[in-house]
Structure 1
Amino acid sequence: MSTLEKHFFSDPTVLVNGALRALTLTNPSLAFDEPNKIIYRRPDSFKGEAKVSIISGGGSGHEPGFAGFVGKGLLTAGVAGTIFASPSAEQVRRAVLGRVPTEKGVMVITMNYTGDVLNFGMAAEKAKAGGVATEFHAIGDDVGVGREKGGKVGRRGIGGGIMVLKIIGALAEQGGSLDQVYKLAQQVCNNLVSVGSSMEHVHVPGRGPMESLMPLGDIEVGMGIHNEPGSQTVRADLPDLIKLMLAQLLDPSDKDRHYVNIQKSDKVVLFVNNLGGVSMLEIGGIVAELVKQLKSTYSITPVRVIAGTFLTSLNGLGFSASLLRLEDTGLGSGKSMLELLDFPAEAYGWAAPIATSTWEADNSSTFDSKHTTTSDPKKSNLTLDPAQAQKALEAGLKQVISVEAEVTRYDTIVGDGDCGIGLKRGAEAVLKELSSGSMPTDAVAYLNKLVPVVEENMDGTSGAIYAIFLNALAAGVRKQDTGSEKKMDAKTWSAALEAALQDLKKYTPAAPGDRTLMDALFPFVETLRDTGDVKKASEKAREGAEATKGMKASLGRQSMLGRRMNGEIPDPGAWGLQEFLTGFAGAL
């Protein structure tokens, strides 16, 4: 069984009804007609004059589309079918005639798929026959399947169609007439192009095993939102994939797909839709690459960039990109395509909260180094020998680098495997800083030059602990400044280290016996305090690290194992620290 076939629900009916019911829990202005799978605005949510009602819908599995867009400023009702199947004409008819206001008419709008067009269209005709002013429109924005293959059916409706719903929903909320809403839907579609790509087909909950999966590395360009094939299968990195997708959207020489003639002088909205299974981290990278290529290849800078999860294919491992050319609506102030797109909506699925005023503000200012909240640190009267310090530090840091593989092996067994790499990365960065030849004699300033290097190059929990400790050590050294010039010695360092250790305890409960780097740090600091001997202190640090081999971890990922180690694996953090201290002490 592939991961695509793993679901928390095995009964699709229970799943669909539960998901629809949840919308009323996240938005109290909505109600749920369960037998007909209709989400609709409660009558009390309408205030003031009557407005055109907008009804959309389609198969489930595309969440938040379509019921997730029901709410003030967007849809009046959404009708759901089973997964990837259109609702029946009777369901839609009940929505039109029983679940929405009809005084100003009803706009029935869905995506351009045969089942949806037939069933929503039939309901629209029934409503008209019953005396309700009704218009019907099928959204087509996909260019992945061109004119030749699309034939008389026309373009499929995919992610960009959500912008159509958003724009006409805002117009209806502002009192637009049925005729205006209908014509605007057509106008937006005529200026809209979209294309999707996916790395995998999706599995529908409650169905048997999938017959086939896409080969690793294949990307279907133009895949629809129900696993339908696209224009081609490619193997490409992201920049090349984006290049191909933008060509399908914008290349005027591709007569099969050139539906909208977008020029660099046009104002354009970029709309990026997650098909459900792409991490938001990757969606961010995709958005950045799309904007980069739009600017560099086509000299187009979008006036809006909207990204999120709007119309999915269950957990589809893909995304779609849409471009909307903004055109004058002729509807007057406050009702341009852009203003309607920005108009507030109270709908679960509309994830574009940036206000018009923010987009139109002067967004060129930045903070630079002149605006930093910290001034140059005050000089201290405590000095050290940079050459001697460099010799000892280099020895310790090189020792850490030399045992990276060993520490990584330990951490791979008991943790997430990144401790050795993190220590090595930090050590190499500090070595580079030391080799710059510009280290000060002021002990506080010396430490303050190394702290940012650790902060910027060591990540994870260990990196944070080292950065906090070194900052606290700099503060601890400053506490030893009596106002008279003095050279740092073992006693002064010991007092500063103790102060730093006390500060560190504010941020972590870790103590000796918890199987952490504290098992090496505490004995080092305590022995240095008692003896003033760095080598004896480093030996105690090694003994502390050795003792972690049989300990049960109380903190961090290791504690999740819930057992003692087998007596052979020390705590990776403690081991890495004692290696540094051993090398450091040996060079003094």
Structure 2
Amino acid sequence: MQTKHFFSDPNQLVLAALHSLTLTNPSLALDSHNKIVFRRPDAPRRAKKVSVVTGGGSGHEPAFAGFVGHGLCDAAVAGTIFASPAAEQISRACIDRVPNDSGVLIIPNNYTGDVLHFGMATEKCRAAGIKTEFFAMNDDVGVGRKKSGKVGRRGIGGAALLLKLTGALAEAGGTLDEVYALAQFANDNLVSIGASLEHVHVPGRGAPEDHVAQDEVEIGMGIHNEPGSHRTKVDLVELVSTMLRQLLDESDKDRAYITRTPQDKFVLLINNLGGVSPLELSGLTYEVYRQLEANYQIKPVRVIQGSFLTSLNGLGFSVSLLKLSDKDVGAGQTMLQLIDAPAEAIGWSVPINPSTWENRIDTPVQLKDSNLDESQPSNMKLDPSVVKKVLGAGLQAVIKAEPEVTRFDTLVGDGDCGIGLKRGAEAIQALLDNPSPPLTDDIVSTVNRIVNVVEEVMDGTSGAIYAIFLNALAHGLRDQDTGSPQQATTEVWAKAIKHSITSLGRYTPAKPGDRTLIDALVPFGETLFAKHDPKAAAAAAQQGTESTKSMKASLGRSVYVGSEGDWIGKIPDPGAYGLSEFLTGLVNAA
């Protein structure tokens, strides 16, 4: 493994790399504070164009910032190496860095952190009145259906093709609905598989303990060193044969994601994971093409080779096959026309047009930030004193329950659930005690202010889940605004909570029975919607929490931590217990 690097500070490296894109493509600008690369507002662009916003952890260059430019994406948001950017960064990109009058498609790869944070930003944009769609790209067949379970396929090299298609359709004048539908349709017809001879090394970190043996290759290794399907000793011909079989064997029900006929047309993408020489990559392309034609009678209509979505210095490559459709997917375009459409992005194979350099503007872009804490006022009313009394009671119940939540989570998790909930509750209580400016009777505004507190102080998966839920709650309340002042009654809250639970389901696969806080939240919401009885809803949440004692965890850290024999039948899910205590305290004070 190559562990030597020119940069020892990974944060400095990420910022330097982002800055370089504005030097190599003069149509781009950088918001360095939020690590957003975006198309300059004074660069030529189509009027009323749908904006495509992508992003993810750094270390996959040229993805994702390298795909920003005319004909491709409008902005990309970067996290630190192999870590998702924060929802605040993503929201800033969608609200302030790209035009959003015709809508925004938010399109990251399918990894838990990305889905939660980009999902949180999606709900924040919707709550702000921006028409927004979300799609998580997932093309990897290296981990089959059984192992990937509810999380689904990972997003790897084929993401470059999805970004090219959606970006080109948006540039051609496609509507948000058309661009979103194309992302779904193309993903359903896309398969990818990777192989690597060694793990990657992150600058500034020690070498990982696990190594791939000198005479072995790992098939299906993920782009963050995640394990694939297996390690094996094979020569190149056998390796490519195995990879193509995982892509195309329709009898393999664990991995058969596409079907094919002799008439089908394909685009082949050979992607360098970062550490393969151009000479060797070309040899790999030839071998893949040779076997596709000889063994599968597939002669791709386009062959694309290069570094599109890498894994730092990964000594590997990936193969992607996109099955094309000849139908009009929007704006009079076919999929092949969109693949062929010109794009001025460093990460794509077509170079920047001379006209872009001729139109170069050297003056810096003046960054103008809207205040994400503000939103349009609503007519949904609730007396601030009632909010302080009822919500405060729920918060105090959470604070009081912290020792028990921590005890539970020490036994079945990583011990931080109670502290996280208490930290969030105390921060919200501080807002209620000393609000500046004072709270008004506009309950949508109040919920949005609470969202900002949660996003700031509650980290981790539970923090993201609560933030997504509350953003969607604000949206659910605003949707019931009839234009005249009205009280936020139990019926209004029931509808808003139902909307929030539905929205949350777009970003987490958790369902009742998975031993998570969803086991308390869903019974509460369903009972409140059905009966309009808060105390019955709280009792349903308590019953749901109690039922988690006998459940085997299928999501969250409890999957990996703790011995089931010690706690099955005894310990409830800590997140569900904490939420149930909050809801009970809330309704008892109402």
Q: Normalising by structure 2, what TM-score?
A: 0.59
Partner of 1:133: 131
Residue 331 of structure 1, CA deviation: 3.3
Question: Using a 3 Å threshold, how does the CA distance of structure 1 residues 354 and 147 change in structure 2: closer, same or farther?
Answer: farther
Partner of 2:238: 240
Residue identity in the other structure for 1:6: K
Question: Using a 3 Å threshold, how does the CA distance of structure 1 residues 354 and 231 change in structure 2: closer, same or farther?
Answer: farther
Partner of 1:219: 217
* Cα distance in 2, alignment partners of residues 313 and 319 from structure 1: 10
Residue 206 of structure 1, CA deviation: 1.0
**Contact 2:28–2:39, Cα closer than 8 Å, also in 1:** yes
Q: State the SS of the aligned residue for 2:346.
A: coil
Partner of 2:306: 308
Residue 332 of structure 1, CA deviation: 5.9
Unaligned 5+ residue runs, structure 2? 354-590
**Contact 2:344–2:351, Cα closer than 8 Å, also in 1:** no
Partner of 1:335: 333
Match of 1:278 among 276, 291, 294: 276
**Contact 2:143–2:229, Cα closer than 8 Å, also in 1:** yes
Question: Using a 3 Å threshold, how does the CA distance of structure 1 residues 113 and 258 change in structure 2: closer, same or farther?
Answer: same
Match of 1:180 among 178, 181, 203: 178
Residue 58 of structure 1, CA deviation: 0.3
Match of 2:263 among 252, 262, 265: 265
* Cα distance in 1, alignment partners of residues 145 and 40 from structure 2: 42
* Cα distance in 2, alignment partners of residues 48 and 305 from structure 1: 29
Partner of 1:378: none
Residue 96 of structure 1, CA deviation: 0.7
Share of identical aligned residues, percent? 62
Question: Using a 3 Å threshold, how does the CA distance of structure 1 residues 42 and 138 change in structure 2: closer, same or farther?
Answer: same
Residue identity in the other structure for 1:224: G
Partner of 1:113: 111
Residue 235 of structure 1, CA deviation: 1.0
Partner of 1:344: 342
Residue identity in the other structure for 1:273: N
Report the aligned-residue RMSD. 1.5
Partner of 1:151: 149
1:252 matched to 2:250? The reply is yes
* Cα distance in 2, alignment partners of residues 38 and 29 from structure 1: 14
Partner of 1:38: 36
**Contact 1:306–1:352, Cα closer than 8 Å, also in 2:** no
Match of 2:71 among 49, 53, 73: 73
Residue identity in the other structure for 2:113: G
Q: State the SS of the aligned residue for 2:5.
A: coil
Unaligned 5+ residue runs, structure 1? 356-588
Query: In the TM superposition, what are the counterparts of 1:161-560 in structure 2 within 5 Å?
Result: 161-331=159-329, 335-352=333-350
Q: State the SS of the aligned residue for 1:195.
A: strand
The higher relative CO (CA closer than 8 Å, separation ≥ 6) is in 2
* Cα distance in 2, alignment partners of residues 113 and 48 from structure 1: 32
* Cα distance in 2, alignment partners of residues 70 and 206 from structure 1: 28
* Cα distance in 2, alignment partners of residues 235 and 209 from structure 1: 23
TM-superposition CA deviations, 1:44-74 (whole Å, max 9, x none): 1243422000000000000000000000000
**Contact 1:158–1:225, Cα closer than 8 Å, also in 2:** yes
Residue 352 of structure 1, CA deviation: 4.9
Partner of 1:91: 89
Q: State the SS of the aligned residue for 1:44.
A: coil
Q: State the SS of the aligned residue for 1:122.
A: helix
* Cα distance in 1, alignment partners of residues 256 and 75 from structure 2: 33
Question: Using a 3 Å threshold, how does the CA distance of structure 1 residues 48 and 5 change in structure 2: closer, same or farther?
Answer: closer
**Contact 2:169–2:331, Cα closer than 8 Å, also in 1:** no
* Cα distance in 1, alignment partners of residues 256 and 262 from structure 2: 15
Give aligned pairs, total.
353
* Cα distance in 1, alignment partners of residues 3 and 106 from structure 2: 34
Structure having the higher Rg: 1
**Contact 1:264–1:298, Cα closer than 8 Å, also in 2:** no
* Cα distance in 2, alignment partners of residues 105 and 164 from structure 1: 18
Residue identity in the other structure for 2:224: H
Residue identity in the other structure for 2:109: M
* Cα distance in 2, alignment partners of residues 333 and 25 from structure 1: 33
Q: State the SS of the aligned residue for 1:340.
A: helix
* Cα distance in 2, alignment partners of residues 353 and 337 from structure 1: 21
Q: State the SS of the aligned residue for 1:85.
A: coil
Residue identity in the other structure for 2:284: I
* Cα distance in 1, alignment partners of residues 115 and 327 from structure 2: 26
Q: Normalising by structure 1, what TM-score?
A: 0.59
Residue identity in the other structure for 2:175: S
**Contact 1:334–1:340, Cα closer than 8 Å, also in 2:** no
Q: State the SS of the aligned residue for 2:135.
A: strand
